[in-house]
A and B are shown apart, each in its own frame.
Chain A
Amino acid sequence: MHLTLEFGGGLELLLEKSIKMHKVDVQPIDGQEKVMMKGLLSWVKSNLIKERPEMFLKGDSVRPGVLVLINDCDWELCGGLDAELEEKDVVVFISTLHGVL
Chain B
Amino acid sequence: MEAMAGELARLRAEREELDRRIRLLESQLEATPRSSASPAGEAIGGGGGGIGAAACPIRRRGNGFSAADGLPADMIYRYSRHLLLPDFGVEGQRKLSGSSILVVGAGGLGSPVALYLAACGVGCLGIVDGDDVELNNLHRQIIHKEAYVGLSKVKSAADACREINSSIKVVEHHHTLKPCNALEIVRNYDIVVDATDNLPTRYMISDCCVLLNKPLVSGAALGLEGQLTVYHHNGSPCYRCLFPNPPPVAACQRCSDSGVLGVVPGVIGCLQALEAIKVATDVGEPLSGRMLLFDALSARIRIVKIRGSSSVCTVCGENSAFTQDDFQEFDYENFTQSPMSDKSAPSLDLLPESDRITCKEYKRLVDNGEPHLLLDVRPAHHFQITSVSQSLNIPLSELEEKLQILETSLKETMNTSTLDKVPPLFVVCRRGNDSQLAVQLLREKGFLSAKDIIGGLQSWARDVDHDFPVY
- A residues with a Cβ closer than 8 A to B are 8-10, 20, 51-52, 54-55, 58, 63-67, 69, 72-74, 76-77, 92, 94-101
Contacts and interface: CB of A to CB of B under 8 A. Distances in A.
A96 B228 CA distance: 10
B221 interface: yes
Q: Max chain B CB contacts within 10 Å: which of A58, A66, A95, A99?
A: A99
B448 to A, nearest CB: 27
Q: Max chain A CB contacts within 10 Å: which of B197, B222, B244, B397?
A: B222
Interface stretch (B46-54, B258-266, B382-390, B450-458): B258-266
Contacts of A54: 248, 250
B332 to A, nearest CB: 12
A67 B222 CA distance: 16
B275 interface: no
B417 to A, nearest CB: 36
A8 B226 contact: no
Given A9-B225, A94-B293, A99 B197 contact: yes
Contacts of B225: 8-9, 97
Contact of B250 (A52, A73, A94): A52
Contacts of A66: 247
Q: What bracket does the count of chain B residues touching chain A fall in?
A: 35 or more
Contacts of A76: 307
A64 B196 contact: no
A99 B197 CA distance: 4
A97 B298 contact: no
B222 A10 contact: yes
A77 B243 contact: no
A74 B221 contact: no
A9 B291 CA distance: 13
A10 B306 contact: no
Contacts of B245: 64-65
Contacts of A51: 397
Nearest to A58: B248
A51 B222 CA distance: 21
A96 B237 CA distance: 15
B247 A65 contact: yes
A67 to B, nearest CB: 7
Nearest to B197: A101
Nearest to B259: A100
Contacts of B347: none
A93 B199 CA distance: 19
B5 interface: no
Contacts of A96: 220, 227, 242-243, 247
Contacts of B110: 101
Nearest to A75: B307
Contact of B222 (A55, A63, A64, A97): A97
Given A67-B242, A95-B247, A97-B225, A72 B304 contact: yes
B132 to A, nearest CB: 13
Given A64-B245, A65-B243, A101-B107, A10 B304 contact: no
Contact of A98 (B198, B291, B293, B295): B198
B105 to A, nearest CB: 6
30 contacts: A20-B295, A51-B397, A52-B251, A63-B247, A64-B245, A64-B246, A64-B247, A64-B248, A65-B245, A65-B247, A66-B247, A67-B304, A72-B302, A72-B305, A76-B307, A77-B305, A92-B293, A96-B243, A97-B225, A97-B227, A98-B198, A98-B199, A99-B220, A100-B197, A100-B222, A100-B258, A100-B259, A101-B108, A101-B109, A101-B198
B60 interface: no
B304 A8 contact: no
A74 B265 contact: no
A64 B251 CA distance: 14
Nearest to B202: A98
Nearest to A9: B225
A54 B258 CA distance: 20
Given A67-B304, A72-B305, 16 more contacts: A9-B222, A9-B227, A20-B295, A51-B397, A58-B248, A67-B306, A72-B304, A74-B305, A74-B306, A76-B307, A92-B293, A96-B220, A97-B227, A98-B198, A100-B197, A100-B258
A99 B247 contact: no
Contacts of B284: none
B154 to A, nearest CB: 13
Nearest to A65: B247
Nearest to B227: A97
Interface in B237-289: 242-248, 250-251, 258-260, 265
A89 B52 CA distance: 54
Nearest to B248: A63
Contacts of A9: 222, 225, 227
8 tightest A-B contacts by CB?
A65-B247, A101-B197, A101-B107, A64-B245, A97-B220, A99-B220, A100-B260, A97-B222
Interface string B389-412: 000000001000000000000000
B220 A98 contact: yes
B197 A98 contact: yes
B244 A64 contact: yes
